[in-house]
């Protein structure tokens, strides 16, 4: 059976303006690969409601799971929860369970649960809360969409909460062979290997280091014996 598929949606002007370099996509990609879920697509959109709604609808229909990051804080540019509600045609308001979490947190820390912070308790009807062990304000799951925070420490904690609840397939195994030759010289044997091992994914990732071209050949698959056999054949072919 093929592995479940997933997409990620990163929400935030700061990534698209070049101000911030996203790290959540890289983190999620590694976590999903280890869990046997295939990340098939990622998108980054700005804090623009129609763009968020359209992306959620497209990705939710195309993949088994969708993971979002960003836009669930207390400020005016945090519009993700309302956009998700719109995408699912769900009613959204401050919800008692989320409000109770925030009330307890702010009472404990001696801070005020003001109107802005209360926005973080806006959760669509029918959604399940995602625990936030770092700063309390929860994420949520509605349909096949997991809505999580943009701050990397919080995002990573939410991924750790959510992933064990999802059924993964066989984890993807990979072997990498670094070849200090230009990829143009190894392309022919590599193409033959890829044709012979059609059940594996064989990628060639060129680099330039100290002015010298080289390539990492990565062999990916779910059966350890097949991956090992392909690696042996690759080494023999390049000798």
238 contacts a second copy (rule: CB under 8 A): no
Site string for a second copy, 95-114 (x = CB under 8 A): ----------------xx-x
Q: Which helix (H) or strand (E) holds 142?
A: strand 139-142
Least Å distance, CB 86 to a second copy, is: 19
Least Å distance, CB 130 to a second copy, is: 17
Give the three-state DSSP class for 188. helix
77 contacts a second copy (rule: CB under 8 A): yes
Least Å distance, CB 115 to a second copy, is: 7
**Three-point CA angle 39, 43, 46, nearest 5°:** 150
Which CB sits closer to a second copy, 43 or 226? 43
**Three-point CA angle 104, 105, 109, nearest 5°:** 115
Which CB sits closer to a second copy, 125 or 205? 205
Binding test (CB under 8 A) with a second copy, winner from 129, 163, 166, 204: 204
Binding test (CB under 8 A) with a second copy, winner from 1, 2, 18, 239: 18
Least Å distance, CB 234 to a second copy, is: 13
Least Å distance, CB 90 to a second copy, is: 24
133 contacts a second copy (rule: CB under 8 A): no
207 contacts a second copy (rule: CB under 8 A): yes
Which CB sits closer to a second copy, 45 or 130? 45
Residue in 95, 88, 73 with CA at minimum distance from that of residue 155 = 73
22 contacts a second copy (rule: CB under 8 A): yes
**Residue 142 contacts by C-beta under 8 Å, 6 or more apart in sequence?**
84, 85, 88, 90, 124, 126, 127, 128
75 to 15, 46, 117, 137, 145: CA distances (angstroms):
17, 15, 8, 13, 22
Which CB sits closer to a second copy, 2 or 75? 75
182 contacts a second copy (rule: CB under 8 A): yes
**Residue 124 contacts by C-beta under 8 Å, 6 or more apart in sequence?**
81, 84, 85, 88, 90, 91, 92, 140, 142
Map tokens 């062979």 to a residue: 177
User: What are 57's two structure tokens?
Assistant: 């609808």
190 contacts a second copy (rule: CB under 8 A): yes
């Amino acid at each position: 059976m093929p592995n479940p598929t997933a997409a990620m949606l990163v929400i935030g002007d700061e990534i698209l303006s070049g101000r911030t370099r996203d790290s959540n996509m890289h983190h999620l990609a590694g976590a999903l690969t280890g869990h046997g879920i295939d990340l098939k697509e990622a998108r980054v959109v700005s804090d623009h409601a129609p763009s968020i709604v359209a992306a959620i609808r497209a990705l939710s229909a195309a993949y088994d799971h969708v993971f979002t990051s960003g836009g669930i804080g207390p400020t005016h540019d945090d519009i993700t929860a309302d956009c998700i509600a719109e995408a699912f045609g769900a009613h959204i308001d401050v919800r008692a369970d989320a409000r109770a979490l925030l009330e307890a947190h702010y009472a404990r820390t001696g801070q005020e649960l003001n109107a802005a912070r209360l926005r973080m308790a806006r959760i669509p009807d029918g959604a399940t809360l995602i625990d936030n062990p770092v700063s309390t304000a929860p994420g949520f799951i509605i349909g096949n969409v997991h809505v999580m925070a943009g701050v990397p420490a919080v995002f990573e904690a939410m991924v750790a909460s959510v992933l064990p609840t999802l059924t993964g397939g066989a984890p993807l195994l990979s072997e990498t062979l670094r070849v200090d030759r230009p990829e143009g010289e190894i392309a022919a044997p590599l193409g033959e290997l890829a044709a012979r091992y059609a059940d594996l994914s064989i990628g060639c990732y060129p680099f330039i280091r100290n002015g010298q071209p080289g390539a990492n050949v990565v062999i990916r698959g779910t059966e350890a014996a097949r991956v090992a056999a392909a690696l042996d054949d690759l080494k023999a072919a390049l000798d």
